[in-house]
Structure 1
Amino acid sequence: MIEFKVGILGAGHIAGVIADTLNKLDGFTPYAIASRDMDKAVAFGTEHNIKVCYGSYDELIADPEVELVYIATVNSTHAELAKKCIEAGKPSLVEKPFSYNAVTAAEVLKLAEEKNVFCGEAMWLRYTHMMNLTLDLIRKGIIGDIRTVVASLGYNLRDSERIKSIETAGGALLDLGIYPLTMAFMLIGAPPTSVASNYVKLNTGVDAYSTIQMSFPNGKFATVISSMLGVLDNKCTVYGTGGRIEIEGVTCPQRVRVFAPDGKQVQELNPTDKFINGYEYEFLAAREAIIVGRLETPQNTRGHIMALYSFTDTLRKTWEMIYPLPGEDTVAAKRPDVKKV
């Protein structure tokens, strides 16, 4: 088995989860950690059994031993660091959001194509075994034709300076809302034809809570709720013409139950014994793509990435939530096709 040496940019919470995942995953080694604070990098390395520590992101990217870079920094820096990895010929997985808008996301993907370097988004929901088993059940018609999807994700993140900051592309939409949105898009399999939304902002200018209602072709509907003000049920219910499916865990399904039209449970799915935490699947997919020379994974294609952030751009336009960051003039100038209600 090819052993991949992974370098992690950023030493925050998600970086720690990724390091712990890699320590348990065959075929991968958490080889290096980089932070803008060398002391923080060293402390992180000690805690997570990583021996190579850097006090700058550029040093890690330049390390010839690093074979895959995981970008786990704040939202506003993802595109810039992804470009640096591509220029250095380093494959990378970018923590969601891939970037804060579609323009900068497209720049990264174009550069990756020009340089022939893999660059993917670590939207782990798209890779998880349980989510893909659920999609198989739906394709087989276990609940008939889908009619409505209702999904929510919310946590109490009131004390997170990063998510409250408009300067770092914070807000509930890009940190939380893209999960239930992605789940709805995966389940229905088509872009919405019309959208309406309600939202509440913090005094910092970012969205704190939103409800997004979407209509799709063939009489399908979805409602997505996201919040950084408190915990929601973090579930998804899929209503079909022949029953319903309840998914517990919108970021990474932990339990899936199928119900017949009379309300009786007829099937249940649970993670396998080999399940680590769900993050392993994106690394396995990235490794396979890199080995065979693909620039994307089939689970989360460049088309998926662009569709998601084009959609969030349109939402933010109607919410008048423009980040003080490069490329945002194009978002401000967009003609909105989403209305406020």
Structure 2
Amino acid sequence: MDTLKIGIIGAGRIASVLADTMVRMPDVELVGIASRSLEKAQEFAERFSIKKAYGTYEEMVKDPEIELVYIATPHSEHCNHAKLCLENGKHVLCEKSFAANVAQAEEMIAMAEDKKLLITEAMWVRYMPMAKTIKEVLNSGVIGEPMTLTANLCYLVSDKPRLIKPELAGGALLDVGVYTLNFASLIFGDEVTDIKSSVIKTETGVDAQNSITLCYPDGKMAILNSSLQVLSDRQGIIYGTKGYMVIENINNFESIKVYDKDRKVIETHERPEQISGYEYQITASAEAIKNGWTECPQMPHKTTLDIMKIMDELRNQWGLRYPFE
């Protein structure tokens, strides 16, 4: 396969991790970085030995050399930036949360499908080998029928302006809560029968922390917590009729420990060696482009939309609307 040539829109922290990952991958080439500041783009390019720096996003998407664009801008900008890329014939790997709401997500996906271009959500954990391992352990029946799960993801990040500004679609839900929702989706699927929640808001009006309970057919339940204000253990725990399993770090699966009815560890699975974990979504995107797919099987459009619908419903329960909606 020819080397996939990639550009990044946005030169923040996630873009830095991605750039560091891509320069170590043999089958892709990070060709360009675009920022609203040419100086920032040039500094970023120099740091990672990227050959092209652009002071506008428009300039980069018109570069014929770039095939795939990674969108690493705030949630509020994802829709416009994705459409800009698609209009210029670029495939898109879009940072989570995919969009600010389901209407935007539907618009992005419809445009990609119409143009026969790939668009996929960079929910990196869905592409990791450990996601498959979790499924295999569950399917083995070792913990019996999984009936309940808990997941939490909380960071001390309330000092970051991007995360507390309503105009940037800030709040815990779209930034970290989306991981807890994806964990629940990975285990129980997307057929949710009931959604209950509680929220504490910041002074700016976005969610500082939230607690979500999802119910599924056959009496299954997920209890999810996320916050910008505290530190948590980041665990996901799946409770079954014969035992339970603990997944360390639902934001970058590290290990799985399986416990029997006596609460004794009977299996342990460790994460394989990786560059950063971001490489798997890049490889999956490359495979999808090679095959002419408009979505990645690891993160289907339907799942992205189902989770966006849940987040819209949660914000509706909380009376949280972004200024641009």
- Secondary structure at 1:24 match in 2: coil
Equivalences for 1:3-82 in 2 at 5 Å?
A: 3-82=3-82
How far apart are the structure 2 equivalents of 1:66 and 1:157? 33
Give the CA deviation at 1:190. Answer: 3.7
Q: Are positions 1:301 and 2:294 aligned together?
A: no
What pairs up with 1:126-275 in 2 under 5 angstroms? Answer: 126-273=126-273, 275=274
Cα distance between partner residues in 1 of 2:242 and 2:26 = 41
| Whole-angstrom distance in 2 between the partners of 1:84 and 1:271 | 37
Q: Secondary structure at the match of 1:199?
A: strand
Alpha-carbon separation, structure 1, partners of 2:245 and 2:51: 45
Aligned-partner Cα distance in 1 for 2:115–2:131: 32
Alpha-carbon deviation of 1:67? Answer: 1.3
Q: Which residue of 2 aligns with 1:281?
A: 280
For the residues of structure 1 that align with 2:178 and 2:262, how far apart are their CA atoms? 32
Give the Cα–Cα distance (whole angstroms) in 1 for the partners of residues 150 and 75 of structure 2.
26
- Report % sequence identity: 39
Of 141-150 and 188-197, deviating more is 188-197
- The answer for the alignment partner of 1:115 in structure 2 is 115
| Aligned-partner SS, 1:151 | strand
Moved over 3 A (4+): none
Deviations 1:241-296 (A, max 9, x none): 111110001111011111111111111111223x1111111111111110010000
Q: TM-score, structure 1 length as denominator?
A: 0.94
Q: CA deviation at 1:24?
A: 1.2
Please tell me the residue identity of whatever aligns with 2:134: T
**What's the CA shift for 1:2?**
2.2
CA RMSD of aligned residues (A): 0.9
Deviation at 1:139, TM superposition (A): 1.7
The answer to whether the 8 A contact 2:130-2:253 is kept is yes
State the alpha-carbon separation in 2 of the partners of residues 10 and 150 from structure 1: 33
Partners of 1:142 and 1:282 lie apart in 2 by: 29
Distance in structure 2 (CA, Å) of the matches to 1:267 and 1:23: 35
Q: TM-score, normalised by structure 2?
A: 0.98
CA distance in structure 2 between the partners assigned to 1:150 and 1:272 by the alignment: 24
Q: Deviations over 1:123-168 (max 9, x none)?
A: 1111111121111111221211001100000101121000010001
The 5 Å alignment of 1:313-324 reads 313-324=312-323
User: Secondary structure of 2:144's partner?
Assistant: coil
Aligned twin of 1:105: 105
Is contact 1:131–1:252 with CA below 8 Å preserved after alignment?
A: no
**Structure 1: unaligned runs, 5 residues or longer:** 329-341
> 2-side partners of 1:105 and 1:299: how far apart?
17
CA drift at 1:191: 2.2
Shift in Å, 1:194: 1.1
Q: Aligned partners of 2:213 and 2:150: how far apart in 1? A: 9
- The offset of 1:46, in angstroms, is 1.2
Indicate if the aligned counterparts of 2:239 and 2:245 stay in contact, CA closer than 8 A.
Answer: yes
Are the equivalent residues in 1 in contact too, given 2:190–2:306 (CA < 8 A)? no
Q: Deviations over 1:187-206 (max 9, x none)?
A: 01242211211110011110
Q: Distance in 2 between matches of 1:139 and 1:318?
A: 35
Give the residue type in structure 2 aligned to 1:35: S
Verify the 8 A CA contact 1:156 1:229 in the aligned structure 2: yes
Aligned equivalents of 2:249, 2:131: Cα separation in 1: 10
Q: Is the 8 A contact 2:153 2:226 kept in 1?
A: yes
SS of alignment partner, residue 167 of structure 1: helix
* Structure 2 residue aligned with 1:335: none
Query: 2:289 maps to which residue?
Result: 290
CA contact (8 A) 1:190 1:217 kept: no
Please say if residues 120 and 296 of structure 1, whose CA atoms lie closer than 8 Å, have aligned partners that are also in contact. Answer: yes
